[in-house]
């Protein structure tokens, strides 16, 4: 009897795993309300902190789709933008002297205070980023809100 329960439990777990993997694809096919676009090698998005705007690059297809879902109103939970600062300017993010590492970008609903700062404040204190200001260079402006997808300049 014990062997039957273990085997049944294993089959149930395998079936649930298969279902979990299939759900995102099925949701896209069933019309979750989000427009599914072909995977792009890179996409650019803008967010505001309530005062200024900042453009960042995404290269991960799942994150690109998540950002598009946020803009279309399908995803309303994790609307803040966070990532690791790279202390070099990017042509697509003028006039700022820094950018976000595309591989580090995530979306959040709540974050710790230690990573909060406005776009302008980070730019003005860039030399301090990674030390007392924004340890490990992780930035999560609490007021950030995705505003639009932009084309690369």
Tell me what pLDDT residue 128 has: 97
Radius of gyration of the chain (CA): 20
Instruction: Indicate the range of 30-44, 105-119, 136-150 predicted with least confidence.
Output: 30-44
SS3 of residue 99 by DSSP: strand
Tell me what pLDDT residue 45 has: 97
Mean pLDDT of 54-61: 97
In the predicted model, what is the mean pLDDT of the chain?
79
Tell whether omega for the bond before 95 is within 30 degrees of 0, i.e. cis: yes
């Amino acid at each position: 009897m014990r062997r039957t329960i273990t085997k049944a439990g294993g089959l149930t777990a395998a079936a649930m795993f298969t279902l979990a993997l299939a759900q995102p694809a099925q949701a896209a096919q069933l019309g979750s309300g989000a427009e599914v676009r072909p995977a792009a090698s890179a996409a650019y998005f803008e967010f505001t902190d309530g005062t200024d705007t900042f453009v960042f690059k995404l290269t991960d297809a799942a994150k690109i789709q998540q950002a598009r879902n946020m803009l279309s109103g399908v995803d309303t939970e994790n609307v803040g933008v966070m990532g690791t600062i790279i202390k070099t300017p990017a042509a697509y993010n003028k006039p700022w002297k820094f950018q976000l590492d595309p591989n580090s970008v995530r979306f959040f609903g709540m974050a710790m205070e230690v990573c909060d700062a406005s776009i302008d404040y980070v730019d003005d204190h860039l030399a301090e980023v990674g030390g007392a200001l924004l340890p490990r260079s992780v930035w999560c402006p609490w007021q950030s809100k995705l505003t639009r997808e932009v084309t690369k300049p």
